[in-house]
Structure formats: C-alpha cells, structure tokens
Amino acid sequence: MTIFSKIIAGEIPSYKCAESDKFYAFLDINPLAQGHTLVVPKHEVDYIFDLSDEELADMVVFAKKVALAIQRAFPCRKVGMAVLGLEVNHAHIHLVPLQSEGDMDFRKPKLQLDADTMKQTADKILAEFER
C-alpha cells in the first residue's frame, strides 16, 4: 500500500482539497507555493502512463476542476501542472499556483506553512471546488 493509498483511506491525515468517486486531491506537505495540490487516483497505480486512456482522461478533467478552484482561492497568473513521480510510487499530478516560472522549480527550498495555514488553504480550495 502506498503512502497516498493510506492518505486516501484516512489512515494518514491530509489536507483535503477535493474528492470524487475516483480521485482525491490534497495539499502537498512540502509546497512549492501556497495551494500546491496533488491529484491522485484512488485506484493504486505507480506510473501515470500505465493508467488506461479513460482513467488518464478522467484524471486530467478532475485536475482541471481542482486547478480552477485553486485559482479562484489563490489568484495567480496560471496554475502549473506537472508529473514527476520519482519519490512516491502512486500516480499523481502536481498543481502549483504560478506567479513566475521559478514557482515550478522543484529544486527550490519548499515553503514551511504551519498546520493552521495548511488547513485554511485546503478549506478555501475545497469550498471553491464545491461551489
């Protein structure tokens, strides 16, 4: 079971931003920017390109809805979308609010946001997602 499957199952806490029957979105614990969100399929698959065409298409459409919610909650120039998957072997899409190109640099030091700020951030995105 991957760490993300444990998060989806509620065995490990997360800051929930959005959910559907097939997908779950939650804040990255080490964000590049406030609102940095991960979108994962509930179905456990390591490599995103091992998903079926239909699952991948559905995941991107779900990520689009989450991205629009992030942008309403945290106004930014655009929301960047990236797939790495080098650390956690459970397919996921990173959504990062962008003000500049450097906001998407995964080598830069991550933000340290306290638990209250993380909760408020996720709640704001969730409220926009459900609007």
Q: Which is nearer to ligand 5GP, 42 or 85 (CB)?
A: 85
Element (H, E) at 93: strand 93-98
Tallying the residues shown for the chain, one arrives at: 131
Least separation in angstroms between CB 27 and ligand 5GP: 6
92 in active site = yes
With 0-12 CB in 10 A as exposed, 13-18 as middle and 19+ as buried, what is 9?
Answer: exposed
Least separation in angstroms between CB 4 and ligand 5GP: 7
Element (H, E) at 27: strand 23-27
Q: Which is nearer to ligand 5GP, 81 or 85 (CB)?
A: 85
Which member of 1, 57, 61, 84 binds ligand 5GP (CB under 6 A)? Answer: 84
Q: Give the total of residues touching ligand 5GP (CB under 6 A).
A: 13
Q: Does 115 bind ligand 5GP (CB under 6 A)?
A: no
Q: Give the phi and the psi of residue 63 in degrees, each rounded to 5.
A: -60, -35
- Segment near ligand 5GP (CB under 6 A); pick from 40-48, 80-88, 97-105, 123-131: 80-88
With 0-12 CB in 10 A as exposed, 13-18 as middle and 19+ as buried, what is 104?
Answer: middle
Residues in touch with ligand 5GP (CB under 6 A): 3, 14, 26-30, 38, 84-88
Tell me which residues are annotated as active site: 92
